[in-house]
Amino acid sequence: MSSIQSDVSRRKIIRAKISKACNQTISLSLEDLINLQREYDIISEKCLAETPVDYEDQKAKDDLYKQKISALITMEQTKNTLSAISIIDEEIDDFLNNSNTVQASTPVMNASNSIVENSTNPSYPMNVRASDLLTFDGNVMNWHPFKISFEDEVINNPNLMESKKRNLLLKVLEKDAKDRAMDLVRQGQTLRSIWISLNAYYGDPKKADEYLLKRIRSIVYVNTSFESSKIEIMLNEVRRISSAANSLGAAYVSRSNSLVKEVLWRCGRQLREKLAHVESFVQLVTELEKLYKSAICLDTFERRDSVRPTTVAAAFSVCCIFCNGSHASADCSSSVSTEEKRRIILASRLCFKCISPGHRSSSCPHALSIRCSICHCNHPTVLHKFTIVLM
């Protein structure tokens, strides 16, 4: 078959398709109609370029078919514009849904005069209201549960027309998500195309990663395992992040190991090494709960020590804990070794700086004023460690 014959045959097929669309024998979307118009413009020009015998007749037909397809495009654009106008009127929605229910349950006669029931699926509701559906505001962390819910109740419901499904979608979307969907509607996209586009955008795992990483990097920094208030803040935030990761589905939970490592970088070196074995958010929550309980117990013990009667503190100040002499422990010059003195201080739960109860050396109020009279370092003279140099 020559090229001109192939073009003529193709033109005949396109004309037939345009005629069927005008007679509503077939249904074409706005995108299909625009593509059909472009193809017909190209193929008609090719056919007329060969100056056939019936040139004038074919040119007149081309003009008519072009008018038809332009009218079809205009009509489809009008339909999309009407569908895009979302009016929330529950009273009218109920009326229309009830009318559909009556029509669906009314038997009809077929060509052979036998009664046939309209096909409906009783496992799906006939009436779905926007107020009964989950809403979506554009937060990627809420997309997965919204997607599952909307597909179960609307997208896969065979009892709802496509226009009804599209209207419900526009009603439950909010903020950025609704603007995105409205843009797709104005472009003449079908419900299926709109749903695929929204899922590709909001269901992208990279967007969820970016959102979670942003939250993780804003977590309070915990330097040691003794900071109970900071550990509590971290624990609560990790619980929320874990819940958000779980809402993305089982497929995403397997990706959470890298996020857990990011959380550990919000800890001091020693604490990070202590939690290095953790590989999931569940494990991390468990370990942080243990750390929080231990820190709370230590805080309680310290508070109890800090409210001891002043007579107890006085007893410590007038009785040496190293030799039981009647002098301050910091002034002891007995032959007790430095290592033994450290052991006694540790067992007595005293501060290594001022050798007093009620606080640790890291929070000693007198730390800056304490200097060894021998080496001038920041420790009491009683804890100076002598070094024997062999000549």
Task: Tell me the pLDDT tens digit for each residue of 193-245.
Answer: 899 999 888 888 788 778 888 888 888 898 888 888 888 899 898 888 887 77
> What amino acid occupies position 205?
P
Give the residue ranges of the chain where pLDDT is below 50.
Answer: 101-118, 307-317, 387-391
The token pair at 315 is 């007893």
CA max distance for the chain: 131
Q: What is the pLDDT of residue 302?
A: 58
Q: What is the pLDDT of residue 96?
A: 56
Q: Which of 121, 123, 126 is nearest to 102 (CA)?
A: 126
Q: What is the pLDDT of residue 388?
A: 41
In contact, 241 and 216? CB cutoff 8 Å:
yes
Integer CA distances (angstroms), 101 to 88, 97, 107, 152, 154, in order: 20, 6, 12, 20, 16
Q: Classify burial at 248, counting beta carbons within 10 Å of its beta carbon; exposed 0-12, middle 13-18, buried 19 or more.
A: buried
Q: What is the pLDDT of residue 106?
A: 42
Q: What is the pLDDT of residue 97?
A: 57
**Residue 95 burial (CB count, 10 A):** 11
> CA 264 to CA 282: how far, in whole Å?
14
What phi and psi, each to the nearest 5 degrees, are found at residue 275? -105, 10
Q: How far apart, in Å, do the first and last CA atoms of the chain sit?
A: 113
Q: Which of 39, 42, 40, 26 is nearest to 76 (CA)?
A: 26
CA 286 to chain centre: 22
DSSP state for residue 335 in the 8-state scheme: S
Q: What is the pLDDT of residue 313?
A: 43
In contact, 275 and 264? CB cutoff 8 Å:
yes
The token pair at 243 is 């819940």
> CA 378 to CA 370: how far, in whole Å?
6
Q: What is the pLDDT of residue 306?
A: 53
Q: What is the pLDDT of residue 318?
A: 58
> Residue 50: CB partners within 8 Å, gap ≥ 6?
4
The token pair at 301 is 């013990």
In contact, 84 and 186? CB cutoff 8 Å:
yes
The token pair at 329 is 């422990």
> CA 40 to CA 196: how far, in whole Å?
29
Q: DSSP readout, 123-190?
A: TS-S---GGGSPPB-S-GGGHHHHHHHHIIIIIT-TTS-HHHHHHHHHHHB-HHHHHHHHHHHHTT--
Q: Can you say whether residue 17 is alpha, beta or left, with left for phi > 0 and alpha for psi between -120 and 50 degrees?
A: alpha
Q: What is the pLDDT of residue 108?
A: 39
In contact, 270 and 327? CB cutoff 8 Å:
no
> CA 220 to CA 241: how far, in whole Å?
14
> CA 316 to CA 254: how far, in whole Å?
57
DSSP state for residue 115 in the 8-state scheme: E
- Map out the domains of the chain as residue ranges: 3-82, 134-203, 208-306, 310-383
> Residue 42: CB partners within 8 Å, gap ≥ 6?
none
In contact, 60 and 171? CB cutoff 8 Å:
no
Residue with tokens 């508070």: 303
